[in-house]
Structure 1
Amino acid sequence: MQRIIMIKETSIQDMLAKTMWARSLTDAQLARVEAEMFSRKIAGGAFVCHKGDPVTHWIGVHEGLLKMSSVSPEGKTVSFAGMANGGWLGEGSLLKSEPRKYDVVALRDSELLYMPKATYLWLLDNSIQFNRFLVTQLNERLALFISLVEYDRMLEPDARVARCLAALFNPYLNPGIGRELQISQEEVGNLSGASRQRANQALQVLEKAGLLKVDYGSITILDLDGLRQFHS
């Protein structure tokens, strides 16, 4: 029996109204973007795209939670980052015209926005404001990946979970998140490369430290800077 994904119907225009970069476009630029973009609903657990796929679209998260990851030659899954409401992915690969370097999986039922490569490149040629957004986005992404290398190699599991959660609250990479995040312990484990049980232990440690509050199916961030700097 086919699974039905229950997500409120929203127009492309309404979706774009919530994006940081779309607000800076001219009316003519925005009209073209609205006409050429489309949305797609992805079931939780399904692949959004695979490593090695040609990169034909810039992808944004209207609602949902995605994980960027790859599998090492030894068969170990390496999680790079989570993408939540307002986040966009694939800008670097579009610029370099190279195959995708990572898998993207929906951790829950999600609705995504797709901008064709031709539209993306046209905006680069015609909008200084869009270019400025991308420069900031790429810079934030680089800083995130540098920190990921650090905490993957140097930090204990509690600190890795703390840094992983903190990374979700980047105002440029995931601007649609408030301080209360609807996320399960299993999803936290998926994003941080830990088991559900180990993620649960880490969340308890972080809650006792006064950095967050854990409720059923959600986490409220109390001290974002503390999460970013947490060491076991």
Structure 2
Amino acid sequence: MQRTKTSERKPLAVVLRESIWARGLTPEQMARVEADTVEQFVPKGGYVCHKGEKVDAWIGVVDGLVKMANISAEGKTVTFTGLSAGGWFGEGTILKNELRKYDVTALRDSRIARMPVRTFNWLLDNSLPFTRFLLMQLNERLGQFIGMVEFDRMLDVDARVARCLAAMFNSHLYPGADTLLQISQEEIGYLSGASRQRANQALQVLEREGLLKVDYGGIQILDLDGLRRFRA
């Protein structure tokens, strides 16, 4: 989840070719993907997509960090997951052909890729490797959400923050993760359902346990397995 300096930003075509779902595509299929997929800039606080809208694209995070969430009628925010560079989402809604059931907002300035639904469905019909990728994607996402329900009901804030950080190292859902997470305490709070102050306290606990080190502008992960097992 490293931030990319403007001078180091890769062209969209390069990012698409490096995506894990693109590895089994033929040159013809890759050419169509590059021709049809467009890039969108979403500033911090802006909406990538809205709950209730008709889905017109499969969406990927080229650079940045976004949050998938809903707001209840009482005004309570429920965060489902965060998505960093390399993560793609929305395939379930496309497959079910239904309206989107969540909002996605940018926690920092983000570059977003949008592959039209028609292109997504064409790949699904014509690429067995792409279909296999989607099966894995759906299975990993299901496991992630089951874990989140368990964590929310059974764990305290310190453990939720630990699991939130560990979840960012799923190599299928977040292929761009690095042991130095350039993520703010405010962003961790958003993703774990805690205030910035409480997230900071949790990080101090995890640091004393030797699981991570809080550096300026980021968090160095020292023991990923330890984060996954913390207070299990």
Which residue number in structure 2 is paired with residue 129 of structure 1? 129
Matched ranges for 1:38-57 at <5 A: 38-57=38-57
Matched, 1:167 2:167: yes
Distance (whole Å) between structure 2 residues aligned to residue 13 and residue 24 of structure 1: 16
TM normalised by structure 2 equals 0.95
Matched to 2:129, the amino acid is: Q
Structure 1 224/9 Cα, relative in aligned 2: closer, same or farther at 3 Å? Answer: closer
Which residue number in structure 2 is paired with residue 14 of structure 1? 14
C-alpha displacement at 1:18, in angstroms?
2.2
Distance (whole Å) between structure 2 residues aligned to residue 163 and residue 9 of structure 1: 30
Matched to 1:29, the amino acid is: Q
Aligned length: 228
- Deviation string, structure 1 residues 59-103 (Cα, Å, up to 9, x no partner): 001110011111123221011101001000101001001111111
- Deviation string, structure 1 residues 14-65 (Cα, Å, up to 9, x no partner): 1112210112100010001100001111101111111111111000011100
SS state at 1:16 partner: helix
Distance (whole Å) between structure 2 residues aligned to residue 231 and residue 208 of structure 1: 14
Which residue number in structure 2 is paired with residue 74 of structure 1? 74
Matched to 1:164, the amino acid is: C
Matched, 1:148 2:161: no
Whether the 8 Å CA contact 2:17–2:30 is kept in 1: the answer is no
Runs of 4+ aligned structure 1 residues displaced above 2 Å come to: 5-12
Distance (whole Å) between structure 2 residues aligned to residue 138 and residue 103 of structure 1: 19
Whether the 8 Å CA contact 1:7–1:111 is kept in 2: the answer is no
Distance (whole Å) between structure 1 residues aligned to residue 132 and residue 55 of structure 2: 22
Matched ranges for 1:205-216 at <5 A: 205-216=205-216
Matched to 2:224, the amino acid is: L
Whether the 8 Å CA contact 2:67–2:191 is kept in 1: the answer is yes
In structure 1, runs of 5+ residues without a counterpart are none
Distance (whole Å) between structure 2 residues aligned to residue 97 and residue 121 of structure 1: 11
Which residue number in structure 2 is paired with residue 29 of structure 1? 29
Distance (whole Å) between structure 2 residues aligned to residue 71 and residue 110 of structure 1: 22
Structure 1 148/7 Cα, relative in aligned 2: closer, same or farther at 3 Å? Answer: farther
In structure 2, runs of 5+ residues without a counterpart are none
SS state at 2:20 partner: coil
Distance (whole Å) between structure 1 residues aligned to residue 199 and residue 163 of structure 2: 12
Whether the 8 Å CA contact 1:68–1:79 is kept in 2: the answer is yes
Whether the 8 Å CA contact 2:44–2:109 is kept in 1: the answer is yes
Distance (whole Å) between structure 2 residues aligned to residue 84 and residue 49 of structure 1: 16
SS state at 2:144 partner: helix
TM normalised by structure 1 equals 0.95
C-alpha displacement at 1:220, in angstroms?
1.1
Matched, 1:104 2:90: no
Which residue number in structure 1 is paired with residue 65 of structure 2? 65
C-alpha displacement at 1:11, in angstroms?
2.4
Identity, in percent, stands at 61
Select between 9-18 and 35-44 the one with higher mean Cα deviation. 9-18
Whether the 8 Å CA contact 1:18–1:86 is kept in 2: the answer is no
Distance (whole Å) between structure 2 residues aligned to residue 229 and residue 76 of structure 1: 29
Whether the 8 Å CA contact 1:185–1:217 is kept in 2: the answer is no
Which residue number in structure 2 is paired with residue 197 of structure 1? 197
Distance (whole Å) between structure 1 residues aligned to residue 10 and residue 166 of structure 2: 29
Distance (whole Å) between structure 2 residues aligned to residue 132 and residue 121 of structure 1: 14
Distance (whole Å) between structure 2 residues aligned to residue 9 and residue 227 of structure 1: 31
